[in-house]
Amino acid sequence: MDLITGQRVVITGATSGIGRLTALELVRRGGNVTIVCRNLEKGKATAAEIESTVAGTSVDVLVADLSGLEQVRRVAAEICARYPVVDVLVNNAGVQDLRPRLTPDGFDHMVASNYLGPFLLTNLILDRTRAAAAARIVVVASEAHRIAGRLDPETFEHLGSYSRATAMWAYGRTKLLDLLFALELARRLEGTRVTANALCPGLVATNLVGGKPMLGPVDRMLSLTPMLRTPEQGARMSVRLATDPSLDGVTGRFFTSTPGMRFLPPAGPTRDASLQRRIWERTAQLVGLETAAG
């Protein structure tokens, strides 16, 4: 077991599914874990469960809905006020909406939750990761990024209309944005002691959509094959990227847990550094970030 004794870990979306089990395992490995969640009661329940499982531990709970930019700014300020150093940041929180809806800021809810909020949070606490001896930023993306299609740097935040039948495409668009974010972040952090990597946890039976497994009845069939993973299996890659000493200094990579996908060539946008830079710059404008990493 690779230990991270005494390291401060911040993980979003940790009250269920992959996030909860990632948090539990990082506590087992000695991390001082802070979970960022939308619901305080669920956060307290998760913290109590982890503390009862791993004796002598304490889990901090902070509340923010990452789809709300003001909430992201507030929780980032709390993190900076509480912790002089953040050794590990796991951007795990994510949703899949089946129909578009707008946030109070005027963004598509799925884009804001999966991409804009994590982008802003990461940048606002970046100084705390830079203060670490060797920090790791982990972004939970998805192989669904391969179905996202072309990205226009000037309009990428507009998903347009989508329905249950096309929601996976829209979700894939947000996950492509996450992956490009991680790649550009790694580039901007070159020469520092902070690494940034993205991952696909595989197709996992979680409550990503409306509290039910993402694919509904299809999950029951897939659970009989290697394609559908349990949340415990889905958390393994996040834990590895947060703790594995063989990954010291490794940055700007995408790690997949989906069987066979590592043999596919990278999607075109992941090879386009100029696209990644332009999307980063426009995202910073969208979220009102005056200065970004680099």
pLDDT of res. 123: 98
pTM: 0.91
pLDDT in tens, 155-209: 999 999 999 999 999 999 999 999 999 999 999 999 999 999 999 997 665 544 4
Q: What are the tens digits of pLDDT across the range 54-104?
A: 999 999 999 999 999 999 999 999 999 999 999 999 999 999 999 999 999
Annotated catalytic residue 162: no
**Domain 8-286 fold:** Rossmann fold (3.40.50)
Nearest to 272, CA basis, from 172, 176, 141: 176
Task: Measure the CA dihedral 146/151/153/154, to 10°.
Answer: -140
> Of 114, 136, 146, which is closest to residue 237 (Cα–Cα)?
136
Please report which helix (H) or strand (E) contains residue 276, including its range: helix 273-286
Backbone angles phi, psi at 229, to 5 degrees: -110, 155
Burial tier of 291 (Cβ tally within 10 Å: 0-12, 13-18, 19+): exposed
Lowest mean pLDDT across 38-52, 128-142, 199-213? 199-213
Please give the helix or strand (H or E) that residue 206 lies within, else none: none
DSSP string, 3-35: --TT-EEEEES-SSHHHHHHHHHHHHTT-EEEE
Averaged pLDDT score across all residues of the chain:
90
Determine which one of 83, 115, 162, 171 is catalytic.
Answer: 171
- Phi/psi at 121 (5° precision): -60, -45
Gap between the Cα atoms of 162 and 145, Å rounded: 16
